[in-house]
């Protein structure tokens, strides 16, 4: 007998929340008993519930869905989260995945695709809407477009690890003066003025 997948929904729009619950409960092998209008109530109740997969909106009253996952995931490590949202900007996508989301779907995903995605994530997959998957794949290739040389990239990585000029110089057998010169070039090429800005850009643009 096929295992039933228990789904919870965190969505503040009454119509969308009720429609999703109807679709899930109307399909053999799926069951939705718990729905929430905000993250605060989900955080309060979910650790005591049996839930396999959560459909999570991002824009919610109070705490965002991304913040909600950050708080919930450590409490329910065996539960998978799928973002179901209209937001498709790079920052929302990557912040969600970093927070612990296993999938990311657009709200206009057809019901059959949504159910397939719930099943996929339950089996250990990472479902994403086509255009979102393209953005994620593109981000992995962005490092090849780095304006930095191999040596500059190496120094930037050490900067990101929190090392100072002297430690970097010792690590890669260069003089502190040469390292400073490289760092000056890194700042110029990345159009930044400080270590903090360089580190932020390195992470955002996948330069290391």
Report, as an integer, the average pLDDT of 165-186.
92
Which CATH class for the 146-204 domain? mainly alpha
Please report the pLDDT score of residue 128 as a whole number: 86
Pair 80, 54: CB distance under 8 Å:
yes
Q: What is the dihedral of CA 100, 103, 109, 110, to 10 degrees?
A: -130
Task: Report the alpha-carbon distance of residue 21 to residue 43 in Å, rounded.
Answer: 19
pLDDT in tens, 11-67: 999 999 999 999 999 999 999 999 999 999 999 999 999 999 999 999 999 999 999
**Domain 5-140 CATH (choose: 3.40.50.2300, 3.40.630.40, 3.40.50.300, 3.40.50.1460):** 3.40.50.2300
pLDDT of residue 146: 81
Sequential DSSP letters for 95-131: HHHHHT-SEEEETT--HHHHHHHHHHHHTT---B-HH
With bands split at pLDDT 50, 70 and 90, how would you rate the model's confidence at 137? low
- In 11-156, DSSP assigns E strands to 30-36, 53-56, 80-85, 103-106
Q: Which residues contact 116 (CB under 8 A, 6 or more apart)?
A: 127
Q: Where are the domains of the chain?
A: 5-140, 146-204
Long-range contacts of the stretch 191-196 (C-beta < 8 A, 24+):
195/159
Residue 16: the pLDDT is 95
Beta bridge partners of residue 129, listed in sequence order: none
Q: CA–CA separation, 10 vs 206, rounded Å? A: 31
**Rounded average pLDDT over 54-81:** 94
pLDDT at residue 160 tops 60: yes
Q: Mean pLDDT in the chain?
A: 90
pLDDT digits (tens, 9 = 90+) for 90-123: 788 888 888 899 999 989 999 999 999 999 999 9
CA 104 to chain centre: 8
Average pLDDT value for residue range 155-159: 91
């Amino acid at each position: 007998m096929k295992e039933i997948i228990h789904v919870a929904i965190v969505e503040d729009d009454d119509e969308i929340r009720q429609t999703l619950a109807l679709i899930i409960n109307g399909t053999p092998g799926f069951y939705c008993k718990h729905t929430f209008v905000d993250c605060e109530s989900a955080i309060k109740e979910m650790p005591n519930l049996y839930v396999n997969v959560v459909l999570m909106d991002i824009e919610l009253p109070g705490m965002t869905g991304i913040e909600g996952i950050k708080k919930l995931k450590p409490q329910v490590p065996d539960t998978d989260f799928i973002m179901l949202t209209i937001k498709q900007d790079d920052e929302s996508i990557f912040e969600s995945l970093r927070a612990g989301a296993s999938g990311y779907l657009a709200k206009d995903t057809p019901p059959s695709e949504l159910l397939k995605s719930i099943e996929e994530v339950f089996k250990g997959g990472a479902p994403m809407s086509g255009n979102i998957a393209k953005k994620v794949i593109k981000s992995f290739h962005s490092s090849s477009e780095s304006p930095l040389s191999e040596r500059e990239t190496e120094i930037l990585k050490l900067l990101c690890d929190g090392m100072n000029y002297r430690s970097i110089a010792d690590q890669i057998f260069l003089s502190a003066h040469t390292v400073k010169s490289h760092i000056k070039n890194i700042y110029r090429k990345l159009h930044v003025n400080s270590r903090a800005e360089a580190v932020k850009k390195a992470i955002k643009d996948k330069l290391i």
